[in-house]
Amino acid sequence: MSISDRVIPASKRYGKLKEVIFWLADSVAEVRAKNPNLPPGQTNGFLLLAYPWLAEELTVGAAQEKILGQNRQLLSALGFQGGKVLSELRDVLGNDRHLAECCLTPLRLAQYLDSAAVTRLADARQAGSTEDKLNFVYEEFEMSTYHQGSFKRAVLSHLFNFEMEGDSTTIDDVRIERLAPDTISRILGEPGFHAFLHPSKAGDCFVVAEEGAAATADMEWMQAQRNKVFLFGKLLQFYKDGVVHVGYSALHFSPEWVNRIRKPPLFFLGSTRQVPYKNGSNKWTMMTPDKEQILRWWKAVKLPRIAAALENKSGKLREATYRAGEYFDTSHQKFSASERLIALAISLESLFTPEDKESLSFRISQSVSQFIEGDPIQRQRIFESLRRMYSKRSKLFHGTYDLKKYEDGTFVTDEEIAQWAGYIRRSLLGFLTFISGEKRRAIMC
């Protein structure tokens, strides 16, 4: 994109904006000049003087409204024309499409104008600056406001432990981008070039959703995008073995200055994971040949019939697969192997626990091996592996595990967890094929 393409055209600007901003600045300067005992600095800046009138768009209690009313009377007595200020700000929003898209409300517009121009101009006016100096301040404001491109908002959702070929890819309506460390810091609202909340080996790929101005509120849109990414993240978990999950989602705006007025500092949904999985040495990797299959799966998941079946949680089979799927997903998010073992054990039992609890571990291990494997030798290996899983699960649940092995990480290893997670993934895929038309859970015993 060229520089000229980023300049907001005159058709989206308010022709009288300079006149309005200079009037707002003069209003602040006049109040200060007539009332020299006002405290200096931010307490007599434009935003704080105008706030008692601008706060009417907020939901406040009776006590707060009483205080705001008293402040309006006090400031009016000092000569500040709050009602006219509010009217002028509304005129700007009604006539300047770019500022309306970026700021939305008079309060946010006042916040931006205050930091970008009005109070600086008021200070310059009081200091006796020349018209050239005042015009230079306004030109700086105009450049930062209208020369950084049109308004856009984006939700960036981190794919923990995810790796891919290249720096950008699109799978139908899912766009995945690799972000630089300083960009990750910026979207999290952290200073510096490396984010403290995002360790470098946790993966630097994000699902990015981006749009221009829209009627949907920021948080509502952010949550909707996060819900979609959750579904995509679960699809990746089912597609092949390995640790991957959707971590945090951050909201970010363009132009950059919009973040100061519409984005709370250090704001994100979800949680950051401070410790990378296996120090980043075993990432869930999407190769180019995987994309075609993932695309087919993603399109299938969104088909109305399949989407409705997955959304429906009634019936024993669907209840079982839903619980198992939730704990399988949770196992990807846990840090320690022991925590993952607990989640996987619950997931497995949700699918295969028989009505008769006698010889539970034997029967579940046998059922899984028969369900997911046809080769007798492989069946035996799966059976023996799951028996070991249940042995460790019982020691963990009953507090009889070897404390030294637990503390040094050898009681249960990441390799064992990966193997058991693979068996459960294959089992879940098999059970999910039974959902359509099935009214009860199939017990394999």
pLDDT band for position 355 (cuts 50, 70, 90): low
The least confident of 9-18, 332-341, 348-357 is 348-357
Alpha-carbon Rg for the chain in angstroms: 29
Find the helix or strand (DSSP H, E) in which 363 lies.
helix 360-372
Over residues 400-410, the mean pLDDT reads 87
Establish how many alpha carbons lie within 13 A of residue 195's alpha carbon, considering only the half-sphere containing its beta carbon.
24
My answer on whether omega of the bond before 106 falls inside 30° of 0, hence cis, is no
Over residues 396-408, the mean pLDDT reads 87
Over residues 160-184, the mean pLDDT reads 96
Distance CA 433, CA 63 (A): 59
Predicted local confidence at residue 340, as pLDDT: 95
Residue with tokens 């310059």: 124
Q: What are 263-306's pLDDT values in tens digits?
A: 988 789 998 888 999 999 999 999 999 999 999 999 999 999 88
The token pair at 41 is: 């600095």
Predicted local confidence at residue 438, as pLDDT: 42
> Which of 351, 331, 346 is closest to 414 using CA atoms?
331
What amino acid is encoded at 24 in this protein? L
Q: What are 88-130's pLDDT values in tens digits?
A: 999 999 999 999 999 999 999 999 999 999 999 999 998 999 9
**Which pTM value belongs to this model?**
0.88
Are the C-beta atoms of residues 156 and 187 closer than 8 Å to each other?
yes
Are the C-beta atoms of residues 337 and 416 closer than 8 Å to each other?
yes
Predicted local confidence at residue 444, as pLDDT: 34
Over residues 200-213, the mean pLDDT reads 95
Q: What are 126-146's pLDDT values in tens digits?
A: 899 999 999 999 999 999 999
Predicted local confidence at residue 401, as pLDDT: 86
Q: What are 207-220's pLDDT values in tens digits?
A: 999 999 999 999 99
Predicted local confidence at residue 377, as pLDDT: 95
The token pair at 346 is: 């619950």
Predicted local confidence at residue 439, as pLDDT: 40
Distance CA 284, CA 262 (A): 34
- Does 40 score more than 70 pLDDT? no
Q: What are 226-238's pLDDT values in tens digits?
A: 999 999 999 999 9
Distance CA 178, CA 184 (A): 10
Distance CA 205, CA 183 (A): 12
Are the C-beta atoms of residues 286 and 165 closer than 8 Å to each other?
yes
The whole-chain average pLDDT of the chain stands at 90
pLDDT band for position 190 (cuts 50, 70, 90): confident
- 368 backbone dihedrals φ, ψ, rounded to 5°: -65, -45
Predicted local confidence at residue 357, as pLDDT: 58
Query: What are the sequence ranges of the domains in the chain?
Result: 3-146, 152-280, 304-432
Residues of the chain with pLDDT > 70: what percent?
93
Q: What are 43-67's pLDDT values in tens digits?
A: 568 999 999 999 877 777 788 889 9
